[in-house]
Amino acid sequence: MVRRLSEGIRLGLLVPDEQLPSESDLADSFGVSAVTVREALTALRGQGLVITRRGRNGGSFVRDVPGGASAVLRERLREVSPSELRDLADHYVALSGTSALLAADRAGKQDIALIADGVAALERAVDADARRRAESRFHVELAAAAQSPRLTRAVIGMQAEVGPLLWLSAGTHAAQQDVLGKLRDVLAAVAAGDGPRARAVAGAHVYAALARASALQLTLLGEDPGGRVVTEPVGRLVDRVSRLCESTFAAVDGLRGVAEQLFLRASDGEPLRRADIEQIATVVRPVLEAEGTPLVGAGLVLAPGALADAEHWMEWWHRGPGGDAGVRRLRPVLDPAVENFYDYTVLPWFVIPRETGARHVTGPYVDRLCTEEYTLTFTVPLHVSHPGRGREYLGVVGADIVNSWLERRLLPLLHRVGQPAALVNAEGRVVVANEPSLVAGAVTHSTDVPALWSGRTGEGAVLHRLDGLPLGILVLDPGGR
């Protein structure tokens, strides 16, 4: 409650001298007791954000906090990763574009007048807080004009989550004029009933805001604590990424050793059953619960027929989204006869170690089953040697790291390269970059990374491969800055 109210005040959502609801109303809104509300108001007074006045017209009022919104937003922009910010913007584009499309078909004269009022409020705005409020009002009125309660609720939610972050960087006169021009174009398209144009302009508006916010974010994330400009050779970055990967594979190798022992004990007797390999959880869970670990998922995925009582099986454990929901076992549908069967045997993190007999890093990719985020999966093949039968492939052992964790740790190092640079995989998909145009998860079509990977030279780019891994540091304009 304290955090939500303090952010609302600092972000300008609650304006100076605005009276807060009564203690009973606040308690109902937040679903807390009156005692909790009083404690929260005391904390807000201690932070200098709220003042309480006695008397007939008394109550708790918002205090003026000069520069508060900018400071809070900059800190929040540091906390969210570049790929998370891009993902939020993608969602926002879907909502805003759909609102504009439907509003062009469904809005009446009064709806259009309310949208126009939002544009007029932006024209009158004299400071950043007023511009953010006007921007928010425009998008909410646009959604309401679409005549969809669910869509309107979603837009309001996105405004609170990402809106202020996207508009933080619109501080220059040129940026402000760009925002105003695009909102006028959306209004004109809606008023003309031109849904496709309204959707296109609304989407372009959000993506333009994303480009500005991403540039500011990369500057913030690349700041040196001492304010110094530090340049380091690419080789040091390659070494750092290699160490991160080797540390992850060290954890995976430890799990593989445990799995091998389980199968070796059964090599001269009956085949293992599901109950026999469940004990690997006693090793996996502590690995995922270790303080400060970057691993969000780990376990064993078996080849078809490796167990006596299951054609397909996996013992995989993961931390919940955000890493704060505890460690739990993944339970996908592994019956091929069921419609939503999870056929892991066709996925790269399973196929490539099976075919090459070597360790592999897959990603970044959207892990819809486990992390629900951009993810890199580190896998190694699991083999057991049987006397007289040779080496048998049994599956893979692996671990997951979310892309946002890597971004926060590698961006400061990427900035020290002093040139546009990115960590990419073998097909040219970006893991993390110090350049807004190199979007995490996107393929670098402007540079032929597969050609560089095969040893051919390319104009304006150099690829520094990591030994034994499908990852490398791509540096653009190596002879430039």
Domain parsing of the chain, residue ranges: 2-65, 81-221, 236-405, 411-476
Q: Strand locations in 89-173, DSSP E?
A: none
Count the Cβ atoms, other than its own, within 10 Å of residue 62: 21
d(CA 285, CA 358): 25
pLDDT of residue 480: 45
Least Cα distance to 1 among 139, 18, 25, 17 occurs for: 25
User: Per-block average pLDDT, block size 10, for the chain (481 residues)?
Assistant: 62 66 77 80 74 76 62 69 80 93 95 94 84 85 93 83 69 80 94 94 85 72 53 83 89 88 69 85 86 88 92 90 70 92 95 94 90 91 74 90 87 84 92 84 85 77 89 78 41
The torsion angle over the Cα atoms of residues 6, 7, 11 and 13, rounded to 10 degrees, is: -80
CA distances from 31 to 9, 59, 245 (A): 20, 20, 45
User: Residue 29 corresponds to which tokens in the numbers above?
Assistant: 């809104």
d(CA 237, CA 406): 13
d(CA 272, CA 120): 71
Q: Looking at the domain 2-65, which fold is it? A: Arc Repressor Mutant, subunit A (1.10.10)
Least Cα distance to 302 among 317, 294, 313, 310 occurs for: 313
Indicate the class that CATH gives domain 81-221.
Answer: mainly alpha
Least Cα distance to 397 among 316, 310, 313 occurs for: 316
d(CA 11, CA 162): 12
**β-pair type (327-329, 430-433):** unpaired
Q: Which pTM was predicted?
A: 0.70
**Longest alpha-carbon distance in the chain:** 93
pLDDT of residue 61: 77
Model confidence pLDDT, tens digit, residues 393-440: 899 999 999 988 888 888 888 888 888 899 999 999 999 998 877 888
pLDDT of residue 341: 94
Evaluate the CA torsion angle 343, 349, 354, 355 in order and state its sign.
positive
CA distances from 284 to 90, 261, 278, 298 (A): 34, 15, 10, 7
Least Cα distance to 326 among 317, 336, 337, 339 occurs for: 317
- φ, ψ of residue 427 in degrees (nearest 5): -90, 0
User: Residue 88 corresponds to which tokens in the numbers above?
Assistant: 């939020």
d(CA 188, CA 175): 20
Q: What is the number of alpha carbons within 13 Å of residue 311 lying toward its C-beta?
A: 10
Classify residue 478 by its DSSP letter: T
CA 231 to chain centre: 28
pLDDT of residue 425: 92
CATH of domain 236-405: 3.30.450.20
Count the Cβ atoms, other than its own, within 10 Å of residue 237: 20
pLDDT of residue 11: 46
Quote the percentage of the chain above a pLDDT of 70: 83
